[in-house]
Each structure stands twice: as structure tokens, then as C-alpha cells.
A and B are shown apart, each in its own frame.
Chain A
Amino acid sequence: MSINELVEALWSATKETSLMVSISMLIAIVVGTFLGLVLYITASPLLYPNKAINAVSGLIINVIRSIPFIILLVLLYPLTNLILGTTIGATAVTVPLTVAAIAFLARLVEGAFSEIDKGVIEASLAMGASLKDIVVDVLLVEALPGIIRAITVTLISIIGYSSMAGTVGGGGIGDLAIRYGYQRYQTDVLIITVVILVVVVQLIQVIGEKAAVSVTKK
């Protein structure tokens, strides 16, 4: 592969990865945070304990998280087909990626909520707060640093998952590394892609941590 070809391949792979990862993360942040909230609220004796809802949502999340991503990708073919009308290409991969990201993030966000001092929740209840007040003005506010860290960790994992997009023709940086670097023994491509991934992941981690610290007021 010539330098020009390599640059071009890397560029389009980067675009594919960005597309897959950003779409699935955007949806996951909304749905995953909501699900994390449901898990937390239904488990909290101070708020709305509901064993049934908690157990069912917890089970679904655990099942999704225990399936290896490549299998999830295959298992979700019917859903992907239903939503997008196709099961191949970068867009098609966003469906299983989104599902995986939601499950992953929901658990981490639940953890972020449970870090909140119960006393603050009790104080807001004593002020007469409704569940909506508590969610908007206490839970989401106090858990923000934890949520940012949860998003950071999820984002990194999802970039890793996206390397399996190649199986269904989704492309991306990870796929480039597997096809050229591993299967065709092009060590230079392998090294370049790995370096890019390391730099990207490192950047995300540093930025995520900085963001989390900057919103912490403790």
C-alpha cells in the first residue's frame, strides 16, 4: 500500500469509526442515563423502590453485557434490519453498538447515582421535593462528574467494540488494523493504526477526567 493509499484508507476508516461511535454514544447517553436512573430509583428505599422493574431492567442489562459483542451483532440482525432495512455497512453496526453502549453506560451511571450522599436526597424530600425535582436538581446535578466518567469509560469500550464492524462491512480503524495489519501481515499499517487508537483513547481519557474534575465542587 502506498503512502497515499494508506492515508486515504486511514482517513475513511477514521470517518467510519467516528460515525459509528458518535451515533451510538449520543443515543446511549440519553437512553443509558435514563435506564441508569430507573435502576437507581427503583432500588432506592428513599425514592420509589420497585423490585419488579428493578429486577427486569437489571436482568436485560446483564444479559446484553454478558453476550460477546460479535455475537450480539449477529443476534441483533433482525432488529437492525427492521430499523435500517439493511444489516451491512457502518450505519448497520450502529444498532448493536448502541444497544451495547446503553447497557454498559446504564450500569455505570447507576453506580454514579449511588455515590450521591443519601442525606442530600433526604434533605430534598424534607423540603417537599417531588421525584422530578430530585432527579433534575439533585441526582443529575450531584452525579454529573460520575456520569462524565461513565461516558468516558463507555466511549473507550465502544471504540474497541467498533473494530468488529468489519465483519459486516462496517469498516473503521480497528477493522483496518485487522484486515491489513493482521490478515495481510502489513506490520506498518498495524503499528500506525494501533498508535492512532492509543492516542485517541488516551486523549478521551484525559479530556474525560479533566471534564469530570472541573465540574466537581467537593
Chain B
Amino acid sequence: MIKFENVKVAFKQKNGEFVAVKDVSLHIEAGDIYGIVGGSGAGKSTLVRTINGLQQPTQGHIFVDNEDITQLNNSQIRELRKKVGMIFQHFNLVSRKTVGQNIELALKIQEYPKEKRKARVEELLELVGLKDKLNAYPASLSGGQKQRVGIARALATNPKILLCDEATSALDAQTTVEIVDILKQINSSLGITIVFITHQMEVAKNLFTKVAVMSEGEIIEHGTTYEVFANPQAELTKKLVETQIDIPDKIISKTQGKIIKLTYKGNRSVEPIVAYANKKYEVVLNILHGRIEYITEKPIGVLVVSIIGEAHQIDKALEYIKANTEGIEVIREKGSEVA
């Protein structure tokens, strides 16, 4: 659906040039919810804007629906934008137009037949659950409602692709979940390919089917969200997806024995392993902290346990655990006896 081939975007500056996107090649398939994550200044926004021609690449080619869009003239670009809707972090609605008029503007721009516009506006508002807000002005809406209007507006002309530029970054957690659900629903019911850029890992874990991690204008890692998050390769990715478990120092200093962190993935469950280890070897395993996260509905679990016993029993127990989990990491070798 979207294919980047060696795309570079550079901006001229007083002292030379600033390269926002360096040699990016990426293939986004139809029906994907493709996330591009990375810190600010990574080049995500610039990259996503090359898809609808808001940003022309300095080098390389971008194919949308098998058409090289770097070769289009102005009127062809307008045609392209009919196929590519976009929503924004700050919604970008016309403040002096009502919800209905904002959506109608998208229809007018794309020369949608005048007599059918009213019905289409109502249909779109129904889709995003804002039927009663037809005549409201954006200022009277909450952030989540404004983004729903943004979505309705972006979908007005039945695009094949929806670009989302930090679309949930200005919203609170609860509203973010609502918007994420709407986008998932749109993706599955209308089959629209979604390209979503964000720095919010929560959104990435819940929404994206595939993800690319971007840093300093380059894509450093990409794949299905589960693969990338469960098994991050690049340093930055590890940092981004780090399953943070913070146990207060006080607790650690009071705990006896060795402290280890276990990671398990997929449908393998770790609790029975801890229980078996307790039974099989002469050790006491004590769970200090645990968390299961769901990435694209598949679990990743992290468990922090302390282990007390004789040294060779501990080694045996650890070996057993190691064989049955994805990862094992020693947080502290041995507790002070004073505890």
C-alpha cells in the first residue's frame, strides 16, 4: 500500500542542511496499523508527511497504491489526498465552523456532490458517535470529541489510508483508549490502512500490528509489534519498551537472598514454574513483584522473585527456571546478612 524507497528529506539551513529523514526504506501493507515510534526530532512527522505530499522528499521514491507520488503535479497531489486522510495532535478544526461544517468542508474540497453532503456528514458523525454535536462549535467539545470530529473529517471521502500524527498525545489516558478503539474499529470494518506516529508506548502496544522504531532520521528496527516489543534488538528500542519494574530500595535491602527477574512470553505461564522450583529444590522462592503486559493481545510477563537456600540448590533451581522461561536476570547477587 505504501512503500518508501531510500527516502531522504533534508532542510536547507543557514549553515548547511539538516537531514530530518536519512535513507528510509519501508513497506506498509494494506490493512496494517503501522506504528512509527521514536523520540521527538526523530523524523517521524517528516516521514509521515511524505505520504500525502505535505513534504517532498529530497531523494528517493514513495509509492502509494503502486503510484510513485514523488512524480505528481499539483492536481494529481490533490487527487492523492482524496485517498489519504490525516488526523493531528491538536485536531486542527476550523474554530468558526460547526462540527457539521468542518466535515462538510472536506466533502466540498473533494467535490463531493452537494445534495449528498448532508447525509454523508450524518453518516460520519454516526460512525464516530457524535450525532448530537452536528451544530456544536469545536470550542464546546472535549479533546476526545474534537479528535472524533477530526477522524470523521479525515474519513469523509473514503480514503484508503489514514495518517495519524501524534493523534492521542494531547488526550488523557481514558480518552486515548477510546480513540484507539475507534481506530481499531475503522481499520477492521473499513479496511483502512493506518499509519500512526507516536511517542506513547501504551498506544503502540495496544494499537499497532506492526511497528518501526525511528531515531535520528533512520529506522533502526521494525517488525510485528510483538516481535519488536518482546525481543527488542536496538539499544533505543530496549529503552523504549523496557518493562519497568521499580521496587523500592527499602524493600530490596530488607529482602534476604538473591533477587532475580524472570521474563516469559506468549502463552507460557511462569507461576507454575516458580511453584515447581519451590517444590523440587530446597529453596524458597518468594514473589516480590509481577506484571503481565499485553502487546497486541499477547502476554509478556515479568516476575521479580527472591531466592533463599543453599548455593548449589539455588544454582539448580535457577537452571531449571532458565530452561523454562525466556529470560532471567540477576538483580542482586546476595542480600546482606544484617537484614
> Which residues of chain A from 75 to 101 have any CB-CB distance to chain B below 8 Å in the complex?
none
- The answer to whether A215 touches B81, judged by C-beta atoms less than 8 angstroms apart, is no
The yes or no answer to A198 lying at the interface (CB within 8 A) is no
- The answer to whether B96 touches A122, judged by C-beta atoms less than 8 angstroms apart, is no
Q: What band does the interface of chain A fall in when counting residues whose beta carbon is under 8 Å from B?
A: 20 to 34
- The answer to whether A127 touches B106, judged by C-beta atoms less than 8 angstroms apart, is yes
Chain A hits for B97, CB < 8 A:
137, 141
Chain A hits for B92, CB < 8 A:
117, 119-120, 122-123
13 contacts between A and B (CB under 8 A): A117-B95, A122-B92, A123-B93, A123-B153, A125-B81, A126-B163, A127-B86, A127-B109, A127-B110, A128-B110, A138-B94, A216-B96, A217-B138
- In the A-B complex, the 10 residue pairs with the closest CB atoms: A128-B81, A123-B92, A119-B92, A126-B86, A128-B78, A217-B137, A129-B109, A127-B106, A217-B96, A127-B109
Q: How far is the CA of A142 from the CA of B96 in the complex (A)?
A: 6
Chain A hits for B84, CB < 8 A:
126
The yes or no answer to A156 lying at the interface (CB within 8 A) is no
- The answer to whether A137 touches B94, judged by C-beta atoms less than 8 angstroms apart, is yes
The yes or no answer to B245 lying at the interface (CB within 8 A) is no
Chain B hits for A127, CB < 8 A:
81, 85-86, 105-106, 109-110, 153-154, 156
Q: How far is the CA of A126 from the CA of B106 in the complex (A)?
A: 10
**Cross-interface CB contact of B109 among A117, A120, A133, A218, cutoff 8 Å:** A133
Q: Scoring A residues 142 to 154 as 1 if CB is less than 8 Å from chain B, else 0, what string do you get?
A: 1010000000000
Chain B hits for A217, CB < 8 A:
95-96, 137-139
Chain B hits for A125, CB < 8 A:
54, 81
Q: How far is the CA of A182 from the CA of B138 in the complex (A)?
A: 54
Q: How far is the CA of A17 from the CA of B105 in the complex (A)?
A: 42
Q: How far is the CA of A133 from the CA of B104 in the complex (A)?
A: 12
The yes or no answer to B281 lying at the interface (CB within 8 A) is no
The yes or no answer to A54 lying at the interface (CB within 8 A) is no
A145 (CB) vs chain B CBs: closest residue:
B96
A126 touching B81 in the complex, CB below 8 Å, given contacts A137-B94, A142-B96? yes
The yes or no answer to A130 lying at the interface (CB within 8 A) is yes
A133 touching B88 in the complex, CB below 8 Å, given contacts A126-B52, A142-B95, A217-B96? no
Chain A hits for B90, CB < 8 A:
117, 119
Q: How far is the CA of A215 from the CA of B96 in the complex (A)?
A: 8
- The answer to whether A141 touches B106, judged by C-beta atoms less than 8 angstroms apart, is no
Give the interface centre of A128, A138, A215, A217 by most chain B CB atoms within 10 Å: A128
The yes or no answer to B82 lying at the interface (CB within 8 A) is yes
The yes or no answer to B108 lying at the interface (CB within 8 A) is yes
Rounded to whole Å, the gap between the CB of A93 and the closest CB of chain B is 36
- The answer to whether B94 touches A142, judged by C-beta atoms less than 8 angstroms apart, is yes
- The answer to whether B105 touches A128, judged by C-beta atoms less than 8 angstroms apart, is no
The yes or no answer to A57 lying at the interface (CB within 8 A) is no
Q: How far is the CA of A127 from the CA of B153 in the complex (A)?
A: 9
The yes or no answer to A22 lying at the interface (CB within 8 A) is no
Rounded to whole Å, the gap between the CB of B195 and the closest CB of chain A is 13
A124 touching B93 in the complex, CB below 8 Å, given contacts A130-B78, A217-B139? no
Rounded to whole Å, the gap between the CB of A28 and the closest CB of chain B is 23
Q: How far is the CA of A124 from the CA of B138 in the complex (A)?
A: 16
**Cross-interface CB contact of A137 among B81, B93, B105, B110, cutoff 8 Å:** B105
B79 (CB) vs chain A CBs: closest residue:
A128
Rounded to whole Å, the gap between the CB of A80 and the closest CB of chain B is 39
Chain A hits for B80, CB < 8 A:
128
Q: How far is the CA of A171 from the CA of B137 in the complex (A)?
A: 47
- The answer to whether A123 touches B96, judged by C-beta atoms less than 8 angstroms apart, is no
Q: How far is the CA of A141 from the CA of B94 in the complex (A)?
A: 8
A144 touching B96 in the complex, CB below 8 Å, given contacts A125-B54, A137-B105, A217-B137? yes
Chain B hits for A122, CB < 8 A:
54, 88, 92
Q: How far is the CA of A140 from the CA of B106 in the complex (A)?
A: 17
A123 touching B86 in the complex, CB below 8 Å, given contacts A142-B95, A144-B96, A218-B95? yes
**Cross-interface CB contact of A133 among B95, B108, B153, cutoff 8 Å:** B108
Rounded to whole Å, the gap between the CB of B59 and the closest CB of chain A is 21
Rounded to whole Å, the gap between the CB of A113 and the closest CB of chain B is 14
A125 (CB) vs chain B CBs: closest residue:
B54
Rounded to whole Å, the gap between the CB of A119 and the closest CB of chain B is 4
Q: Scoring B residues 96 to 108 as 1 if CB is less than 8 Å from chain A, else 0, what string do you get?
A: 1100000001101
B89 (CB) vs chain A CBs: closest residue:
A119
Chain A hits for B156, CB < 8 A:
127
Chain B hits for A215, CB < 8 A:
96
Chain B hits for A216, CB < 8 A:
96
